[in-house]
Structure 1
Amino acid sequence: MKRSTGIFLLLSILNTFFLAAQSSGTTTITGKIIESGGQPIEFATVLVGDPTSKTPIDGTTTLDDGSFTLETDASDFFIEVSFIGFKSLTLEHKIAANGSIDLGAITLEEDSQQLDEVVVEGEISQTQFKLDKRVFNVGSDLSSTGASALEVLNNVPSVNVNIEGQVSLRGSQGVQMLINGKPSVIASQQGNALGTLTADMIDRIEVITNPSAKYDAEGTSGIINIVLKKEEKKGLNGSFTLNTGVPNNHSLGISLNSRTEEFNLFSQLGFGRRTFPSDNESENRNLVDSTFINSIGQSDKNETFFNLILGTDYHINEYNVLTLSGNFAYEWEKEHSDAVFSTFDAGNSLTDAFRRRELTTATNPKYSYELQYKKDFEGNEDKSLLISATGNLFAKDQSSDFANTVTSGDNDDMLQQTRTDFSQADYTFKADYTHPWAEKYTIETGAQYQISDVENDFAISDFDGTDFVENPDLTNVFEWVQKVLGVYGTAAYESDKWGLKLGVRFEDTDVGTLLQNTNLRNDQKYSNFFPSGHTSYKVNDDLSLQAGYSKRIFRPRLWDLNPFFNIRNNFSIRTGNPDLQPEFTDSYELTSIYKIGKVSMNLTVFYRHTEDVVEQIVEFEDNVSISRPENIGINNTTGIEFNAKYIPTNWLSFTNDFNLSHFRRKGAFDGTSFDFKGEQWSTRLTSKIKLPADIDLELIGNYQSGFRTLQQEVTESLFMDFGARKKIFKGKAIVNLSIRDVFASRIRESVTSQPNFYLRDFSQQGRFVTFGISFGFGKGEAMEFSGQKQF
């Protein structure tokens, strides 16, 4: 196509000069090309040709409104109008009046035979299996529907999108989303900006479950990369969304996406208010003297938020794209807590009790920005260079007031205050280069530098009868700086049947912490290699096998390291550990992908070996429990993951995710060796029903079994979510009903049973009901906005 266009332009130029030497008269031809329904046809071709030789003389293409203007010096010519999928139209013997010809509106008729030829190949979306990823190619069955990117994702095996737009991979929502192989604010699930993309913009979706050395060594459940077509749909896409719910869940969202020849502008504006109520219970039982303390109370966290996304892709030319985007968010938090604490003696008699009330307020400004440059190379669409710089800044100014009112016993009333001044800055600089050669070989290399700089100023003040006085023993300023330099290289061979990809990543980590009030420093430096290997074999079109290995790391974060604690419950304190070390995991996977008719199945057998496992350890003294993370031994986990999607008809589908793991723990803590094993399993069944009148229903059943850690037993959890959605005005508007935890059965409960003490913690948030309506405009359907805050 490009070659013929070049020849045509060359002929046009030569003919222009040749005819200019013969005649000085110029004719201007104008008109507008439309289809039978009256819609303008963009990029239709308009030719002026020589009636004798049938060769082109001049030509042009139509604008986005179907109009065109064409000048020619020829005195005898015919006019031909054409566009793929339509019958060509030839106009002859047109006579100029005062040097111009106005053709008016020209209607092209669809060519059904030509359309059939066009869509025969690649009509149905199909999944292709490659070395370390699965590629879902979007066919005309989806791209012609005008569906959103979220609906396309829901057709990808192992991927599920619930009624609120949350994306999960193999049952886990810890998914990293990329656009064209790079992070993007468009890919933020929290604002559902993915809704600004429509199916006909998407070329393919890549799913990576066991990332190679190219990606951060920090653990992740998987990566989903949405690759857009280069011929992106031009014009304006957008939506306006309003949500309301019980408890408070009110939000307003506006999304805009405008594409021109050179620029892609995207933006999103959101306001909202949400409330998270919770019922809480706790019990601290001293098994030595048989005394115990319990608390029963409620809390509610209210968030009012505002967020703004602005960004643009500047297409410098066909092979170079510059992207600049930014995000600003601001949150106002207000949290109430009200609980009654009761103390009982060995005879189970009440000795004293008090009511503890809390009011916490906070403001949280957040900023992020991203500058990216991507270069493709002519003649090889898989060869690319990507350079990016990102920054994220977050601050918190928080204060809390606590009041203890004695209801029984001889204790005095008490007032306390806390304050927190927190700031965090994260910067990432990255470069990735991909170089394929000889069709079957590919080399990837790149580097990344990450900086995290955090300071947390925390203080507790007690009321002395006149003023609030800071308690120096409960006040600290904690600083945490982490720098990680990563360099990687991978090499791959891939044929039609078999492939192999090997890689290694080197990361150098520099971590420093400082507790200012005691001048306690803790600096750690360590360097590690993270190898990876992946292979795949395609047995036939319906059966493929994949095997992979990668080494991962979990680095302790600020709240794992900071000896800060919340005094909401003075008898149950959680704090950090500045001496905490990172944990390392060797991950092995063997996966089979099999299709039988309308059923697609993935069965994965995995084994993970983790050193220096990080786990919460509880100490108990004076009826007060103090929990903090410790490095506790090793963990060996063997398990299976099973995912199946069954679509018996075009109005019904079932998806099941099942995970079963068996683990064995070994190690020593506090001078005592331990060796124990256990099992954990979870399942989720999702059914989607398409009813007449464009109504979609969704039912999701979730079960999480109980499991144990070194000290704790975590109880099972069973709950169900429900969603309903109806499209109106031909998909330009959507009404949506969502009920999370339909039966209010989702609980969080843990029991710590040790020789000298017994602890129980229980919490439940209850049912959430949300109703929303979204209006879409431009090209594509209405896009849903979940009403969630950014970050």
Structure 2
Amino acid sequence: MAINRISIVLVLGVIFSLSPLRLWSQSEIRIEGQVADALSKIPIPYASVALVDSVNGRVKDGVTTGEDGTFDLTTKETDFYLEISFMGYQSLQIRNYNPQSSVVRLGVIYLKENSQSLDEIEVTAEKSAMEFKLDKRVFNVGKDLNTTGMGALDVLSNVPSVNVNIEGQISLRGNTGVQILINGKPSVLSEEGSNALGTITADMIESIEVITNPSAKYEAEGTSGIINIILKKEEKKGFNGSVSVNTGIPDNHSVGVSLNRRTENFNFFTQFGVGYRSMPRYNESLNRNLNDGTEIYSEGTEYRNENFYNITLGTDYHINDWNVLTLSGSMAYEIEDQPSETDFRLRDANGSLLSEYRRTEETSATNPKYQYDLQYEKQFRNNEDHKLLISTLGRFFGKTQSSQFLNIPIGTSDVAPNQRTETSFFDRSFVYKLDYSNPITEAFSLEAGALYEQNDVGNDYQVLNNASSGYVIDSSLTNNFEYDQGVFGVYSTAAYEGKKWGLKLGLRYEHTLLNTLLTTTNEANRQEYSNWFPTVHSSYKISQRFSMQAGYSRRIFRPRLWDLNPFFNIRNNYNIRRGNPELQPEFGDSYELTGIWIFENLSLNTSLYHLYTTDVVDRVSFFENNVNTTMPVNVGSRNQTGLEINGKYNPVKWLGINGDFNYGYFSREGVFQDQDFSFQGDKWNTRITGKIKLPAGFDVELSGNYESAYKTVQGEQSGFAFGDIGLRKKLWDGKGVVNLSVRDIFASRIQESRVYQNDFYAYSFSQRGRFITLGFSYSFGKGEAMSYNGGRRH
């Protein structure tokens, strides 16, 4: 059931603020209780508990229930009753009390589902909202219009503190090195190298947890923090489902089906779909040799066209009330076609044209993916949060790719020989986890667990040059790269969370063993290291309207395959990206202080943060023979101090405004190959989104974004602004929905960088352009329409 919980809290705040309090007696009465679903016995968070004057029926005071459904209310009123309500449930009045020592303990209060209003309620939670916990922020995903027909990366771009660039690279508060989890676990769908986050659609996501200072419970990977994508798991009994159809410009066509069948002991779920999408990108680059004045300019458009097919199957088996077994699996198969054309012009110091040619590419690839997840959960009888969780996860991503590059002369230019490449890639990983949590008391809890993760990756890459005798292997660009990494970790945390304040302490130990091998040249690299990762989190509730959080964590960023593999695509022979097998991990210490305000129609949170990172991984350009080669290297340390402000404002019922602002000042210190890379700079970004409710069931959503320019170790990155717009029309009481969205309305979202060095200047520009999507979704049973696209993002 989709419900805008934050809106409920704000509306209640308005109601409760309208009535002055009246004294009951000279002493206060404290009222305690818990609200739960009458059928499932599951606690109901964010239910409203209103204290109502028995004489005139006016609301005198009130609270909302916490995550565990509990509430605590004090009053001096003399003649009142409680009214407990939650959208989708029948309201309940409690008029009889028996105070003991000035305390009324109501126990568990059960609310019954209101079936008559259920369908109407299910379509009211249309806007995403943020809530706060001791060590994280939770972004509850609504039906944002500008994500219509799009994938998880589009949803992430709407989450405060998170940015997604034109290449699909994810950063948190402007920093990369973010660990992406699916349901708290690593997933093939979350690997940037697999480009698969697009297979998760907006309506498949329940919430996104933004953890800037993760506790020791989580793996230490990700110096910038963790983003955990929580997928929906349908809890409604019976048969539910939805079907959706999407089309778009550029090509973005898909059909998807989501089905769910829940009985007393089983919950079966599946999602499957097919589609085709095209992802054009315009590129422009300039390399200028400052020693002899020559320059090479290139421009062209590349496409990534895909047919995709994927399916997810899973079941939860409730052995009894205390034991649940979950088995799920997913398979995907993609067929790629990547045509591109790039024009090259070489000029001398006087600007005279030396050579001009066109380089065309025809690339085809097949990408099989699969994943399984087996999980056993035991809930102990004394407390529903007393749990033991054992899980294993296996995943595979493969790619078989072949490319043909033709150099076509323009005029009488001499050109390099034609080339071919063959790639065979695989990524296998296995994760074994044990997690135990025990709430010793209502306020005090313990957690402990262990993990072992094994990654086995191979990339067999072959380049062939056309010669008189046919295509001949280029040994300088051909090799087979093997990557094998094992990580073992154990952790323990202890937390106290009272009515006013909370404290959570944690410690994690991780041992890493990494081996890489270039088999053709027999170049091996071995890294083995052990590290301790302490964490501290605290919170203090100053009043009903204002709370504070503080936290510290130590993190690590381990270089991945694409950071280590020295062989990359040769689409542009003058601008090459490659990995660095000798790259070392970077470590970060993160400090954060956050204030949270909740008013009648405004919520606001402000964070001061500091991140100190050592052995920073930065991409550095090397110039030789007019070829710009970019590779990651460890360059010194970075201190970054920032201010982040997020807010939501609802001035009137038909208008909602969300805002996000992040400013960071950074100082870099480091020397690489006798070159001093020390410098200072800053960067900032802001986003504002407005939603307008119109008559006849129409909704409009507008979003504006700006990211500032900033300095890099060798140059600068340009800033840009862009906007999105969405329009929705509901049909058949919300069972059917038609959506139209336009992303990057003015085609202004770009990636532009400049490198300034003593002996060369390099410029690059990239642009995706405008995307228009039209979608229709229809739900049946009690299911929610799930727009589906299933494709890639980059």
Q: Give the TM-score band, short-chain normalised.
A: 0.7 to 0.9
Query: Is 1:482 the equivalent of 2:428?
Result: no
Residue number in structure 1 paired with 2:262: 259
Question: Pick from 735, 740, 744: which aligns with 1:732?
Answer: 735
> Aligned pair 1:170/2:160, yes or no?
yes
* 1:580 pairs with 2:583: yes
Whichever residue aligns with residue 386 of structure 1, its letter is L
> Any conservation in 1 of the 2:188–2:396 contact (CA below 8 Å)?
no
Question: Which amino acid in 1 is paired with 2:618?
Answer: E
The structure 2 residue matched to 1:654, chosen from 647, 652, 657, is 657
Hey, what's the Cα distance between the residues in 2 that align with 1:243 and 1:662? 42
Structure 2 counterpart of 1:746: 749
Aligned CA distance change for structure 1 residues 279 and 516 (closer, same or farther; 3 Å): same
Name which of 541, 561, 565 aligns with 1:558: 561
CA deviation after TM superposition for structure 1 residue 352, in Å: 1.1
- After superposition, residues 201-600 of structure 1 pair within 5 angstroms as 208-219=211-222, 221-223=225-227, 232-412=235-415, 414-600=417-603
Alignment-derived partner of residue 644 in structure 2: 641
Identify if the C-alpha distance between structure 1 residues 511 and 652 changes in structure 2 by more than 3 Å, giving closer, same or farther: same
The AA in structure 2 aligned to 1:450 is: E
**Secondary structure at 1:610's aligned position in 2?**
strand
SS in 2 for 1:472: coil
CA contact (8 A) 1:196 1:257 kept: no
- Between stretches 606-615 and 413-422, larger displacement belongs to 413-422
Counterpart secondary structure, 1:451 = strand
Q: 1:140 aligns with which of 78, 81, 86?
A: 86
1:307–1:789 Cα contact (<8 Å) kept: no
How far apart, in 2, do the equivalents of 1:417 and 1:426 lie? 30
| 2-structure distance, mates of 1:279, 1:193 | 26
Q: SS of 1:430's equivalent? A: strand
CA distance in 2, matches of 1:439, 1:517: 60
Query: Matches of 2:722 and 2:286 in 1, distance apart?
Result: 25
Are the equivalent residues in 1 in contact too, given 2:201–2:789 (CA < 8 A)?
no
Structure 2 length normalisation: TM-score? Answer: 0.79
Q: 1:122 to 1:421 in 2, by over 3 A?
A: farther
Q: CA–CA distance in 2 between the matches of 1:214 and 1:763?
A: 39
Evaluate the alpha carbon distance shift between residue 139 and residue 267 of structure 1 in structure 2; reply closer, same or farther with a 3 A threshold: farther
CA contact (8 A) 1:185 1:193 kept: no
Q: Is the 8 A contact 2:357 2:415 kept in 1?
A: no
One-letter amino acid matched to 1:147 = E
Shift of 1:195: 3.8
- Letter matched to residue 86 of structure 2: S
**Which one scores higher on RCO, CA 8 angstroms, separation ≥ 6?**
2
Q: Deviations over 1:288-341 (max 9, x none)?
A: 111111012111110111000000000111111100000000000111111111
Question: 1:120: how far off?
Answer: 12
Post-superposition CA distance 1:86-138 (Å, at most 9, x none): xxxxxxxxxxxxxxxxxxxxxxxxxxxxxxx9x999996878999xxxxxxx9
2:627 and 2:62 map into 1 onto residues whose CA distance is 65
Q: 1:323 and 1:687, CA in 2 relative to 1: closer, same or farther beyond 3 A?
A: same
Counterpart of 1:603 in structure 2 is 606
Question: What is the CA–CA distance in structure 2 between the aligned matches of 1:455 and 1:205, rounded to whole Å?
Answer: 31
Answer yes or no: is 1:667 the counterpart of 2:642.
Answer: no
Query: For 1:285 and 1:205, how far apart are their aligned partners in 2?
Result: 44
Separation in 2 of the partners of 1:457 and 1:120?
71
Could you list the runs of 5+ residues in structure 2 that have no partner in the other structure? 1-38, 41-56, 71-83, 90-117, 149-154, 164-169, 171-178, 191-195
- 1:182–1:265 distance in 2 versus 1, CA, 3 Å: farther
Give the whole-Å Cα distance in 2 for the aligned partners of 1:184 and 1:440: 33
SS in 2 for 1:474: coil
1:140 positional shift: 2.0
- Separation in 2, partners of 1:758, 1:127: 55
Structure 1 gap ranges (5+) = 1-62, 65-116, 131-137
Q: Does 1:631 align with 2:631?
A: no
User: Does the CA contact (< 8 Å) of 2:622 and 2:629 recur in 1?
Assistant: yes
Give 3-state SS (helix, strand or coil) of 1:169's partner.
coil
Say whether the 8 Å CA contact 1:212–1:533 is kept in structure 2.
yes
Which residue pairs with 2:787 in the alignment? 784
Deviates further, 162-171 or 210-219 = 162-171
Corresponding residue for residue 174 of structure 2: none
Q: What's 2:17 paired with?
A: none
Change (3 A) 1:557 1:530: same
The equivalences for 1:664-703 within 5 A come to 664-703=667-706
Cα gap change, 1:189 to 1:690, in 2 (>3 Å): farther
Q: 2:771 is matched by which residue type in structure 1?
A: F
Offset, 1:548: 0.2
The Cα of 1:185 is off from its aligned counterpart by: 11
Is the 1:275–1:302 Cα contact (8 Å) retained in structure 2? yes
2:579 aligns to what SS in structure 1?
A: coil
Is the contact between residue 502 and residue 534 of structure 1 (CA under 8 Å) also seen in structure 2? yes
Shift of 1:650: 2.8
* Aligned pairs, number: 663
Contact 2:597 2:603 (C-alpha < 8 Å) held by counterparts: yes
Contact 1:731/1:782 (<8 A) preserved: no
User: Secondary structure of 1:602's match?
Assistant: strand
Distance 2:232 2:668 in 1: 45
User: Structure 1 residues 150 and 271 mapped into 2: Cα distance closer, same or farther (>3 Å)?
Assistant: farther
| 1:620 CA displacement | 0.7
- The TM-score with structure 1 as length reference comes to 0.79
**1:3 matched residue in structure 2:** none
Aligned partner of 1:773: which letter? Answer: F
Residue 783 of structure 1: CA displacement? 2.6
**Counterpart secondary structure, 2:734:** coil
Equivalences for residues 90-109 of structure 1 within 5 A = none
How has the CA–CA distance of structure 1 residues 458 and 225 changed in structure 2, closer, same or farther, with 3 Å as cutoff?
closer
2:603 matches 1:615 = no
Return the letter of the residue paired with 1:676. Answer: F
Evaluate the alpha carbon distance shift between residue 410 and residue 275 of structure 1 in structure 2; reply closer, same or farther with a 3 A threshold. Answer: closer
Rate the CA distance shift 1:182–1:149 in 2: closer, same or farther, 3 A: farther
Q: Residue 517 of structure 1: SS of its match in structure 2?
A: coil
Compared CA separation, residues 779 and 629, structure 1 to 2 (3 A): same
Structure 1 distance, partners of 2:275, 2:683, is 37
Cα shift readout 1:139-187 (whole Å, capped 9, x = no counterpart): 72477554379847446577365322614432416585665x6789999
Amino acid at match of 2:159: L
Task: Compare 276-285 and 170-179 and name the one that shifted more.
Answer: 170-179
Q: Are 1:769 and 2:772 counterparts?
A: yes
